[in-house]
Structure 1
Amino acid sequence: MKSLSMLGKKIGMTQIFDKQGMAIPVTVLTVGPCTVTSINHQKSNEYTNIQIGYEYIKLNQINKPQAGLFNKLKIPYFKYLKEYKYLSEEIKDINIGKVLTIQELQVGNIINISGKSIGKGFSGYQKRHHFSRGPMSHGSKNHRQPGSIGAGTTPGRVFPGKKMAGRMGGKQVTIQNLEILDINIKDNIIVIKGSVPGKNGNILSIYKK
C-alpha cells in the first residue's frame, strides 16, 4: 500500500555535521499525527480522494457545521483539513479515523514538500526577476528603472506575463527530492536536508515518493 501524504509545520533551520566534518543545512519539521476524515471514491473508481485532518482543537474553535460533521464521524476536531488524490489500486485498508504518523517514514526516504512561500510585498523588477541595473555614472538617468517593455503601435499593448514589478512571493511552491536525515518518533519530528518553503510555523504538505 502506498504511504499517505501528511501535513506538518516548519520549526526552523539549523546545521549538522557529517563524519567528514562538512556542514549540512537542514530543516526541522513536526509532522502529524494526521487522521483520515473522509474517503470519496470517484465515479470511474480509478481515483480516490482522501481527506486528512491535522492539529487538534477545541469545540469552541470551530463552527457548528464542522462540529456536527466531526461528531457524526466520531473523530476529534481538527484545525486543518486537506484532500489528496490517489489511484484506487494504491489505497487499501484505509478507514475513516485511521491515524497517520511519521512511523511510515524512514531515514533515507526521499520526499516532496509543498507550502506557501514567504510573501515579500510589492517588489521592483531587479529584486523580483533579477534584472541588471542601469549605469550608475553621473550622466545616466536609468539606475533602477525597468526600461523598454517592448510595446509600440504594433501590438499596441503589453503581453500578459511580462516580467515587471509586482507582488513577490506568497505562492504555493513545491521542493522535490528532499532526503530525510533523522526521525524522532516520540516528538513527531523529522530532519530533512535542505530548505522548505515559508517561514517558521508554516503549514506544509509532505508527499513520500
Structure 2
Amino acid sequence: MSALWDEWGVRHPVTILQLERVQVVQIKQNQKNVRPPLVAVQIGCTEEKNQFTKPLLGHFKNAGVNPKAKLLEFHVTPDAVLPVGTEIKAAHFVPGQYVDVTAPSIGKGFAGVMKRWNFKGLPASHGTSLAHRSAGSTGQNQDPGKVFKGKKMAGRLGGSSATVLNLKVLKIDNVLNLIYVKGGVPGFDDQFVRIRDAIKKPGEKCFPSDCIPPPFPTIDLEIVNNMPRELMAKTGGIDPFVPKEV
C-alpha cells in the first residue's frame, strides 16, 4: 500500500497492483443451444518455467504463449472476445472507474469466537474461572437436543476467497503496468488477485463521464505506446480546504 494526493492535495490510501505479462490463453464457448450464448476468456499471468505437467505445457504450446503461473476465466459477451495471445495492459482500465478485487484473505489459523465472530465473551468478574473468552451456550434443552448447523463457533479464520467491491482506480502507469486502486485489497504481498469491472455500478456509473463509452473490448497496444506514462483520475468538485461561506 501507498498514498496518492489528488489535485486538491487530499491524501488517499492506495494499493498498487501490477499486471505481469497478462495474456489471453484460451477462448471457451458453451453449448450452441444455450441462450444467451456465453463465452469465457481464459487469462494467464506471470511467466513461469518450472512445475508444469505435460498436458498443461501442451495447452500453453497450442496457444502460442509462454507457461503462466496463474490461470483465471472471465465471462464476456461474444463481441468482447480477444484473440489468443493478446496482452492486456494497465491502460485497459480507465482512471476514475470502479473495480472489484477478489483474492484469498490472509489465513490466521484456528481462532476463537471473540476474534472470529466478534463475540463479547463472558463476564470478566468474580465467579468466571478461566472462561472469559468462551463462547458460552451453543444449544438448547432436550428439544431439539442438538447444535444447529452453521452455528458461529471457534474454527479456522481467513484463507478463503474475499471480494472488495467498488474500489476506484486513481492512477495507472503504462510503463510498469501498475494500477493504483483506492483502499485495501484482500491477501498478502505478491498475492494473485482477480480484477473485474464493478458489478454493482453498471453502465455509466462504473466509468467517469469523460470516458463514455470506455475502450471496448480493450485498448489497442499501438495507442498505449503513444499514451503518457501516468494517467491520474480527477476528483473534481470544490476545493475541500476552502472554508465555506456562512
- 1:153 is paired with a residue of what secondary structure? coil
Q: Greater RCO between the two (CA within 8 Å, min separation 6)?
A: 1
**C-alpha spacing 1:24/1:73, structure 2 compared with 1 (3 Å):** closer
Question: What residue is the counterpart of 2:71 in the other structure?
Answer: 81
- Is the Cα contact below 8 Å between 1:32 and 1:100 reproduced in 2? no
- Is the Cα contact below 8 Å between 1:114 and 1:205 reproduced in 2? yes
- Is the Cα contact below 8 Å between 2:21 and 2:47 reproduced in 1? no
Higher strand share: 1
TM superposition shift of 1:54? 0.6
Q: Does 1:41 align with 2:29?
A: yes
Match of 1:126 among 81, 106, 114: 114
Q: Does 1:180 align with 2:179?
A: no
Identity of paired residues, percent?
Answer: 35
Q: Does 1:72 align with 2:62?
A: yes
1:121-179 CA-partner distances (Å, limit 9, x unpaired): 00000000001122222333341111111332111111111011000011101111100
Match of 1:95 among 83, 105, 116: 83
**C-alpha spacing 1:74/1:20, structure 2 compared with 1 (3 Å):** closer
Q: What do you get for the CA RMSD once the two structures are aligned?
A: 1.7
- Is the Cα contact below 8 Å between 1:70 and 1:76 reproduced in 2? yes
- The 5 A counterparts of 1:12-27 are 13-27=1-15
1:77-120 CA-partner distances (Å, limit 9, x unpaired): 111111122233x424x211111111111210111100000000
Unaligned segments of structure 2, at least 5 residues: 199-246
Match of 2:94 among 85, 98, 106: 106
1:168-209 CA-partner distances (Å, limit 9, x unpaired): 011101111100111111001111110100111111000023
Match of 2:156 among 140, 145, 167: 167
- 2:115 is paired with a residue of what secondary structure? helix
The one-letter amino acid paired with 1:99 is E
**C-alpha spacing 1:23/1:103, structure 2 compared with 1 (3 Å):** closer
- Is the Cα contact below 8 Å between 1:25 and 1:194 reproduced in 2? yes
TM-score normalised by the chain length of structure 2: 0.73
1:43-88 CA-partner distances (Å, limit 9, x unpaired): 1261011111111122x44222211222222221111111122233
Moved over 6 A (4+): none
**C-alpha spacing 1:74/1:18, structure 2 compared with 1 (3 Å):** closer
Match of 1:196 among 161, 185, 197: 185
- Is the Cα contact below 8 Å between 2:101 and 2:193 reproduced in 1? yes
- 1:128 is paired with a residue of what secondary structure? helix
